[in-house]
Amino acid sequence: MDTNRLTRISKNEWRIEPHGKMNVPGIIYATAELIEAMDDKVFDQVRNVAQLPGIVQASYAMPDAHWGYGFCIGGVAAFDPDKGGVVSAGGVGFDIACGVRTLHTNLTAEDIASVRKELAEALFRHIPAGVGSTGKVKLSMHSIDDVLTGGAKWAVEHGYGLTDDLRFIEENGCMPDADQSKVSDHAKKRQLEQVGTLGSGNHYLEVQVVDKIYDPKTAKAFGIHEGDVKISIHCGSRGLGHQIGTDYLKSMATAANSMGIDLPERELACARLDSPIGLDYLGAMAAGVNCAMANRQVITHLVRQAVEKVLPKANIRLLYDVSHNTCKREKHTIQDGKKSLYVHRKGATRAFGPGDPSLPREYKDLGQPVLIGGTMGTASHILVGTEKSRELSFGSACHGAGRTMSRRSATKRWQGKSVVNQLAGEGVLIRSKSLRGVAEEAPGAYKDVDAVVESAQNAGLANRVARLVPVICVKG
């Protein structure tokens, strides 16, 4: 993207001045280098979102932004229901509540050094991964409704994990306003055997070692120390979320037309927040969020079982679980005062600062852990939300490294097998059913995650706490 098209506000903040049909400006948080590497389509998509009815303050892009369906991935936009605001399925993303959960272990890098291969095999065997993968949880069309209303709470009640896990999940693991009756039977059918599976694409299960502490005080309070082994799970709502997205995209395209909403492009299909389709989507989406949280909870249980087989004394607890594809009703202070807004975060992580009532007591004075997944060969980061992010981005930060290359280009550039070998040489064991998937996910196809999080920090969105490097990565 040409930075000449933007007004530079500071080293890490750039503005698209309102023009044409834009209701609000666009704001991109990134360094000049990151923006130059961004596709021009990010500019178009931030601008297009700014044209939607009822959008407030600005249409935002995070430092990891890249082209997506309708909204860019790394996009944040809030809508006011009192001003004709809308909800958009493309503004949430197909993988509803895709997110990251990071687990503490009581292990250090030394503890796992001699059993790394066994551990990799145990995790690979025990946690189903890959396109269309099915798991051990078998649901009926009746019982799946309990997953969709109960979320991770359903999983714990059915023996997958501990009650105390729930406190460390956004929404305590259960979105209360989920409406399973607004989810199609087709979407439910696709999920009957997929709870407790990782999926494909950029989803992964990683064993990581903490290699750098940026903020010792917060790290200690989060339970993070150099040399600690952590385990991170990156996945979402599988076939169910995807089908909800597909279903509502269609009905929203029709509805927007009949409601007279002037769509900048078809992919931005949306519905007014006070319309039947808008409300139905919010209920279905919340059910999708519950499905994703249940999924990560069941996987956590499987991780505990797999790790305990190799290391019987292992003790695994949650650090945090946060989604990065959602639309949530939140109170924010804007120009008009304190308002109840619907905040879309697509490839953007909630990053609430200290004092937020939704945080578990251990983190209340510090802020929310912001879990940033990297790539197989590089690093992941844990940041902490700031008070300032509320003003800057409705309390949001980046979600990962962000692609710089299409999946197709990546498969032309790299061979899956050589990526696996190269990473093995660097101390990362990759286990995957799909070498093609590994090639698509080659670290070189992504931006530099260290630069992305540094930019997020310098923009004021969240502060770095610790960096984790992968030692085992199970890919879909």
Q: Estimate the share of the chain in helix, then strand, then coil, as percent rounded to the nearest 5.
A: 40, 25, 35
Q: What gap in Å lies between CA 408 and CA 345, rounded to an integer?
A: 26
Smallest Cα–Cα separation from 462: which of 404, 381, 401? 381
402 assigned binding-site residue:
yes
**Does 85 sit near DNA (CB under 7 A)?**
no
Q: What gap in Å lies between CA 260 and CA 252, rounded to an integer?
A: 12
28 versus 438: smaller Cβ distance to DNA: 438
**Does 128 sit near DNA (CB under 7 A)?**
no
88 versus 243: smaller Cβ distance to DNA: 243
294 versus 466: smaller Cβ distance to DNA: 294
- CB 140 within 8 Å of CB 264: no
**Does 98 sit near DNA (CB under 7 A)?**
yes
- CB 374 within 8 Å of CB 473: no
376 assigned binding-site residue:
yes
Task: Give the up-direction half-sphere exposure of residue 198: CA atoms within 13 A in the CB hemisphere.
Answer: 30
Indicate the Cα dihedral angle 82, 84, 85, 88, nearest 10°.
150
458 assigned binding-site residue:
no
Binding mask 19-58 for DNA (x = CB under 7 A): ----------------------------------------
Biggest alpha carbon–alpha carbon distance for the chain: 64
Q: Does the annotation count 399 as an active-site position?
A: yes
Contact with DNA (CB under 7 A) among 230, 238, 301, 464: 238
User: What does DSSP assign to residue 403?
Assistant: B
Q: Interface with DNA by CB under 7 A: which range of 57-65, 234-242, 303-311, 312-320?
A: 234-242
200 versus 463: smaller Cβ distance to DNA: 200
The CA-based angle 295-301-307, given to 5 degrees, is 130
**Does 95 sit near DNA (CB under 7 A)?**
yes
Residues 241 to 270: which contact DNA by CB under 7 A? 242-243
Q: How far is the CB of 78 from DNA (least distance, A)?
A: 23
**Does 188 sit near DNA (CB under 7 A)?**
no
Q: Interface with DNA by CB under 7 A: which range of 90-98, 103-111, 151-159, 370-378?
A: 90-98
331 versus 408: smaller Cβ distance to DNA: 408
CA–CA distance from 52 to each of 46, 58, 68, 315, 353 (Å)? Answer: 11, 11, 17, 48, 28
CA–CA distance from 100 to each of 150, 236, 295, 319 (Å)? Answer: 19, 9, 11, 11
Q: What backbone phi and psi angles, to 5 degrees, belong to 202?
A: -90, 10
Q: What gap in Å lies between CA 146 and CA 160, rounded to an integer?
A: 14
**Does 434 sit near DNA (CB under 7 A)?**
yes
Residues 131 to 150: which contact DNA by CB under 7 A? 131-132
Q: Interface with DNA by CB under 7 A: which range of 109-117, 239-247, 372-380, 446-454?
A: 239-247
Contact with DNA (CB under 7 A) among 14, 29, 94, 222: 94
**Does 190 sit near DNA (CB under 7 A)?**
yes
Q: Interface with DNA by CB under 7 A: which range of 80-88, 126-134, 167-175, 352-360?
A: 126-134
**Does 218 sit near DNA (CB under 7 A)?**
no
Residue 343 β-bridge partners: 78, 328
38 assigned binding-site residue:
no
The CA-based angle 458-52-347, given to 5 degrees, is 40
Active site residues per annotation: 399
Q: Detail the residues annotated as belonging to a binding site.
A: 95, 202-206, 234, 324-325, 373-376, 380, 399-402, 475
Interaction site with DNA (CB under 7 A): 69, 94-95, 98, 130-132, 186, 190, 194, 199-203, 235-236, 238-239, 242-243, 434, 476
